[in-house]
């Protein structure tokens, strides 16, 4: 029972802190806005071009905003030695990982929910009918990104070159997630039947499960060396 | 019963030996004060007992449990007030307490939190964000957490640092109360006269070794080191 309480309290604390200081969300939002703005002027907005380039643009924006947000995930724990308090907690350290991970997933989904209407607006996308499919893809890809991002954020938070190390570790590992997410998003934009791109979503789910389980297991050793 | 037992504990950082075969016993209901010059290894010894550092050699037991093998169980019984405040700047005083206890599996009521905050003298600031607290108020907040957790082992690093006169009196009252309830208290400090009011035994760490002294010797000496 302590295990689930710990998860709940950590996720609550992370979301509440973020809502109050808005440091991460504002930097992520403005970065994504610039990406959308630049790409919207770089490509002609005919439906065929939009269909071809949109999956890539969306995931470039989401991927890099994830790097900005997830990279700072454990920064708050370093101030005032809160990481030390986590170390001394009488709970499995995996609970701390899951709490941070859930907080990050919710936080990322909030950012994506804010950003996606901007894509619709700037690129004149017709997505109303396909919205549930987009939601599914964004959800499963965000889980995978957050699982890896939470782990690598904890690994690099005490490293001096944290800003450099975090993307170096995250991006190669996240390649399968980006490939799956872009291909599935392309399927939705092309108007393909769900069966034609569902294998990409299945791939994302498999990676989600692997990344969450492995990160949960490794986290014990990261925090309690 | 012996609550804290260190057996030939040594600790080196790279080639620098901080502690050399230190043995120490603190019984239940006893307050043990550690003195020593800056850099003597007092904090390192406390952090070993808090399961934050592993000794280079030797072993220790907390309430009869092996300090290296049974860390999860040990952590249920101990609490460290260290150099870090373990606070989140964007959470209020009450929210910080709720979080700190919640992640440990505690469920303090609002009334209990109010009583603890009133007792340590910061009841009027319970809605204030912790970023606005002074160092002394942060220390008082840590003491309030201790009052709610009521650990069997209390480790106090630089016990009186940042506290004003009233704060010191309040902390000594708490230490007496904990000792009366059977908790073992191990504290590091430089304030001999204040420590003499609560400590049952004392020791000086100097040149990596611990030498036990009586309270009378502690008070009578011109300088301990």
Among A residues 52-71, those touching chain B with beta carbons less than 8 Å apart: none
User: How many domains does the structure of chain A reveal?
Assistant: 1
Q: With an 8 Å Cβ cutoff, are A76 and B105 in contact?
A: no
Partner B contacted by A126 (CB < 8 A): no
Q: Examine residue B69 and state whether it is found in any structural domain, yes or no.
A: yes
Token pair for residue A18? 């973020």
Q: Examine residue B61 and state whether it is found in any structural domain, yes or no.
A: yes
A152 to each of A11, A63, A146, A168, A179, how far by Cα in Å? 18, 15, 10, 10, 20
Q: With an 8 Å Cβ cutoff, are B103 and A79 in contact?
A: no
d(CA A129, CA A125): 11
Q: How confident is the prediction along chain A (225 residues), in pLDDT tens digits per residue?
A: 689 999 999 999 999 999 898 888 888 888 889 988 898 888 777 777 878 889 999 999 999 999 999 998 999 899 889 999 999 999 999 999 999 999 999 999 999 999 999 999 988 888 888 899 999 999 999 999 999 999 999 999 888 888 899 999 999 999 999 999 999 999 999 889 999 999 999 999 999 999 999 999 999 888 876
Q: Examine residue B121 and state whether it is found in any structural domain, yes or no.
A: no
- Domain of residue B176: give its range: 2-88+151-220
**Best mutation target, A2, A11, A13, A72, to test chain B (most B CBs within 10 A):** A13
Candidates A1, A21, A81; nearest CB to B86: A81
Q: With an 8 Å Cβ cutoff, are A90 and B104 in contact?
A: yes
Partner B contacted by A132 (CB < 8 A): no
Q: Examine residue B143 and state whether it is found in any structural domain, yes or no.
A: no
Looking up residue B28, the CATH number of its domain turns out to be: 3.40.50.300
| Digit-coded pLDDT (tens) for A57-100 | 999 999 999 999 999 899 989 988 999 999 999 999 999 999 99
Q: Examine residue B172 and state whether it is found in any structural domain, yes or no.
A: yes
Q: With an 8 Å Cβ cutoff, are A91 and B84 in contact?
A: no
Sheet holding B184-188, edge to edge: B78-81, B153-156, B184-188, B31-35, B201-206, B209-213
- Domain of residue A152: give its range: 2-223
d(CA B78, CA B61): 12
**Best mutation target, A1, A80, A221, to test chain B (most B CBs within 10 A):** A80
Q: State if pTM tops 0.90.
A: yes
Q: Examine residue B13 and state whether it is found in any structural domain, yes or no.
A: yes
d(CA A125, CA A44): 13
What angle do helix axes A131-156 and A47-71 make, rounded to 10 degrees? 30
User: How many domains does the structure of chain B reveal?
Assistant: 1
ipTM above 0.85, yes or no: yes
Cβ neighbours of residue B2 closer than 8 Å, sequence gap 6 or more = B25, B26, B27, B28, B61, B64
Token pair for residue A92? 């499995």
**Best mutation target, A18, A88, A93, A223, to test chain B (most B CBs within 10 A):** A88
| Digit-coded pLDDT (tens) for B205-221 | 999 999 999 988 888 87
d(CA B114, CA B123): 6
| Digit-coded pLDDT (tens) for B66-106 | 999 888 899 999 999 999 999 999 999 999 999 999 999 99
**Min Cα–Cα distance to chain B from A220, Å:** 12
Q: With an 8 Å Cβ cutoff, are A6 and B91 in contact?
A: no
Is the four-CA dihedral B193, B196, B198, B204 of positive or negative sign? Answer: positive
Q: Examine residue B94 and state whether it is found in any structural domain, yes or no.
A: no
Q: Examine residue B141 and state whether it is found in any structural domain, yes or no.
A: no
């Amino acid at each position: 029972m302590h295990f689930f309480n710990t998860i709940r309290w950590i996720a609550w604390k992370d979301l509440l802190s973020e809502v109050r200081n808005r440091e991460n969300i504002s930097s992520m939002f403005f970065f994504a806005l610039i990406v959308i703005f630049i790409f919207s002027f770089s490509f002609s907005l005919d439906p065929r071009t939009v269909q071809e380039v949109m999956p890539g643009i969306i995931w470039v924006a989401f991927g890099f905003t994830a790097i900005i947000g997830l990279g700072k995930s454990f920064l708050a724990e370093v101030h005032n030695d809160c990481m030390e308090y986590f170390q001394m907690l009488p709970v499995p350290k995996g609970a701390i990982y899951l709490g941070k991970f859930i907080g990050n997933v919710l936080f990322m989904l909030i950012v994506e929910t804010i950003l996606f209407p901007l894509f619709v607006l700037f690129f004149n996308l017709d997505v109303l009918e396909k919205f549930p499919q987009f939601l599914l893809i964004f959800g499963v890809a965000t889980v995978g990104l957050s699982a890896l991002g939470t782990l690598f954020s904890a690994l690099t938070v005490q490293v001096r070159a944290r800003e450099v190390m975090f993307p170096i570790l995250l991006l190669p590992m996240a390649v399968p997630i980006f490939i799956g997410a872009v291909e599935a998003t392309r399927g939705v934009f092309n108007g393909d039947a769900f069966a034609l791109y569902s294998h990409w979503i299945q791939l994302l789910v498999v990676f989600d499960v692997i990344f969450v389980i492995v990160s949960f297991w490794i986290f014990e050793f990261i925090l309690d060396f | 019963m012996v609550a804290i037992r260190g057996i030939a504990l040594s600790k080196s950082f790279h080639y620098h030996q901080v502690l050399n075969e230190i043995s120490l016993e603190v019984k239940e209901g006893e307050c043990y004060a550690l003195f020593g010059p800056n850099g003597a290894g007092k904090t390192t010894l406390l952090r070993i007992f808090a399961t934050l550092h592993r000794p280079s050699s030797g072993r220790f037991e907390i309430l009869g449990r092996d300090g290296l093998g049974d860390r999860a169980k040990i952590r249920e019984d101990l609490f460290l007030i260290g150099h870090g405040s373990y606070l989140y700047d964007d959470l209020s005083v009450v929210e910080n307490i709720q979080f700190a206890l919640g992640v440990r599996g505690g469920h303090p009521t609002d009334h209990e939190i109010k009583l603890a905050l009133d007792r340590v003298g910061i009841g009027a600031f319970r809605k204030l964000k912790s970023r606005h607290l002074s160092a002394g108020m942060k220390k008082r907040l840590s003491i309030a957490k201790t009052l709610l957790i009521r650990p069997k082992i209390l480790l106090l690093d630089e016990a009186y640092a940042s506290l004003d006169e009233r704060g010191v009196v309040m902390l000594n009252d708490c230490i007496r109360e904990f000792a009366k309830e059977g908790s073992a208290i191990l504290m590091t400090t430089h304030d001999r006269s204040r420590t003499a009011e609560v400590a049952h035994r004392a020791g000086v760490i100097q040149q990596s070794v611990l030498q036990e002294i009586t309270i009378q010797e502690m008070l009578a000496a011109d300088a301990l080191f």
